[in-house]
Amino acid sequence: MTIEPELCKVEDALGILVGKWKPIILLHLMKNGTQRFSELKRSVLGITQKMLTKQLRELEDEDIIERVVYPQVPPKVEYSITEYGKSLEPILAAMHEWGTNHTIHKQQKLMKKTTEQSS
């Protein structure tokens, strides 16, 4: 691999994924399809309304998700992954896989250290 560091676009992708809640929000939408604001809020444990709104807006700005407002009272707003947004799936999958392996890697490292100390 030879990506010229000066022309690096990794951060452009990274910028979309970071934020304490974005990957989880995306996974929920990818798994369950269209979701209402309140459904997401219930699914993403611990998130505040402000944070959820903010993350959703940012994802919407990048065309990763779509927001549809129904003119009703009480309001109904639905969010879903766009076709374009689906192009992130392989990356999320790769990161998940790497992350899963990395968890094991760290575990092994920790056990090794513990073993060494007790000997």
Partner DNA sequence: TTAAATAGTATCCTTTTTGATACTATACAA
Partner DNA sequence: TTGTATAGTATCAAAAAGGATACTATTTAA
Binding site for its own copies (CB under 8 A): 1-5, 8-14, 16-18, 23-24, 27-28, 30-31, 43-44, 62-63, 84, 87-103, 105-106, 109
- The least CB distance from residue 19 to DNA, in Å, is 4
Longest dimension (CA), the chain: 69
Considering only 51, 80, 82, 92, the residue that binds DNA (CB under 7 A) is 51
Which one of DNA, its own copies, none interacts with residue 67, CB within 5 to 8 A by kind?
A: DNA
- Helices first, then strands: H and E counts in the chain: 5, 3
Q: Which is nearer to its own copies, 9 or 50 (CB)?
A: 9
Return d(Cα 66, Cα 59) in angstroms, integer: 8
Residue with tokens 């459904």: 39
Does residue number 74 form part of the binding site for DNA (CB under 7 A)? yes
Residue 17: CB atoms within 10 A of its CB come to 15
